[in-house]
Chain A
Amino acid sequence: MMAHNLGEARIRVPDRIQRGDLILVHSIISHPMDTGFFRDAEGDPIPAYFIKLVVVTYGGSEVARFEWTSGISRDPVVTFTLKADKEGLLTMVWTDNKGAAFRQSVNIGFASV
């Protein structure tokens, strides 16, 4: 059903970006996002295990922050628009409630016209 490689993350941006473009950023991370409300096949409760914070930085400064609860699907996708006004790294860090932080970056570079 899901990718089982915990924390594997992808960020996708358009192949060709020009300065000033409003671009779509797609991201996904592989995570079980267990709510804590379910039991496993043996009947034992599955403890809550979910991403609680996503921080997006662009060229070194924070541009977005998502504070999540367990009410988000497994392998959560975040899609947002970004004004591409500078070249630099777009970095996302997903932190879960066990304290693990997963990081992924893409370079935002402008196509020569």
Chain B
Amino acid sequence: MLYPFILAWTSLTATLPLTGPGIAAPPPTLRRLAAGVYAALGDIGRGTEGRPNAGFVVTDSGVVVIDAMASPRQAEELVQAIRSVTPQPIKWLVLTHHHSDHHFGAIVFRRLGAKVIAHPDRRVLASEAGEDALIADWVRVVGLDAMRGFEFANVPDRPVTGADTLRLGGRSLIITHPGPAHSAGDLMVWLPRERILFAGDLLVEDGVTMLVDGSSGWLLRALAAIDSLRPSSAVPGHGAIPVRPARLVARTREYITGLRSAMRSAIEQGTPMGRAMASLPPADETRPVSLNSRRRRNAVRVYLEEEKAYMGLDSAR
């Protein structure tokens, strides 16, 4: 059964070099976005393959961390970075979704006493073969050493399925579920006063958001929701923080709508999936989330969505 294996493998959301076994990565660089609001920058220029971004908000009554990085070790580095800014206790960890590269460090924050805010739907494509397989796959990505002390810690203490406002030390964080766009358990975190959005993997620096466990229809709705917030700053799940968030949103939308219309017209003309994708560069075999691999995986996904929509069985949209 090769196919399920490929599914499990290809749904991993990072690959080796900078996070690989035995290679010490530098601790995340902090970017101060507003007073007490920081982005912890992962890798830049590597799209979804790089270490993810995270963030945190310092209040007078404690710290709220947004996303837990890809391993306990990365999370410990994030804690060190937080400690370089504030001695306040870490009270809350918000997870933007349940992919390994964003929550596998969660246990570190839990052990420090933080409560977890997340969407209760933890199902992801990569866990279809079970949690043990998910961990084993991930060890191959980040290395056994970085995984020392790992336990799952993404079951929410405070589940969010709609919208929730977290108030702490005079600050407000609005946490919303934009629908299953990138994954079933997507959340985004909005700071209304500072107009700063932590978008999770709804946004990626190169504009090619993966539809891993979500759908293009929900992603378009999520992008519209982001637009309507008019953020002054939006932290993507991976890569550089855009100078103009609206441009990254527009670029992502153009990519998705272009893909949808290309796949739709292929289906109307009876063009099989393989030929509909012929113009895309081949996927990188050992890099399941490289730009080329992402584009092809999204194309498969959208072809299947459009096929259902064309036939009137469009429950996924």
Contact = CB atoms under 8 A, between A and B. Distances in A.
A80 B1 CA distance: 28
Given A1-B316, A75-B313, A81-B270, A37 B4 contact: yes
A10 B1 contact: no
How many B residues are at the interface, by size bracket?
Answer: 10 to 19
Main SS of chain B's interface residues?
loop
Contacts of B128: 38
A3 B313 CA distance: 7
B237 to A, nearest CB: 22
A12 B272 CA distance: 16
A28 B269 CA distance: 16
Interface in B1-48: 1, 4
Interface in A14-31: 24, 26-28, 30
Contact of A77 (B1, B311, B315): B311
A79 B272 CA distance: 9
Nearest to A29: B313
B308 A75 contact: yes
Nearest to A81: B270
Contacts of B308: 3, 28, 75
Contacts of B312: 10, 12
Interface in B125-153: 128, 130
B207 to A, nearest CB: 26
B307 interface: yes
Given A1-B316, A79-B270, A81-B270, A26 B310 contact: yes
A1 B267 CA distance: 20
A3 B305 CA distance: 12
Given A1-B316, A10-B312, A28-B313, A77 B307 contact: yes
Contact of B307 (A4, A28, A37): A28
A38 B269 CA distance: 35
B1 A8 contact: no
A2 interface: yes
Nearest to B313: A3
B311 A26 contact: yes
B143 to A, nearest CB: 29
Nearest to B1: A37
A8 B269 CA distance: 24
Interface in B269-312: 269-270, 272, 307-308, 310-312
Interface in A34-87: 35, 37-39, 75, 77, 79, 81
Contacts of B269: 24
A12 B315 CA distance: 18
Nearest to B184: A1
22 contacts: A3-B308, A3-B315, A4-B315, A8-B313, A10-B313, A12-B310, A12-B311, A24-B270, A26-B270, A26-B310, A28-B308, A28-B311, A28-B313, A30-B313, A35-B1, A37-B1, A37-B4, A38-B128, A39-B130, A77-B311, A79-B272, A81-B270
Closest 6 CB pairs of A and B: A28-B311, A24-B270, A3-B313, A3-B315, A10-B311, A37-B1
Given A1-B316, A10-B313, A28-B313, 9 more contacts: A3-B308, A10-B311, A12-B311, A26-B270, A28-B307, A28-B308, A38-B128, A79-B272, A81-B270
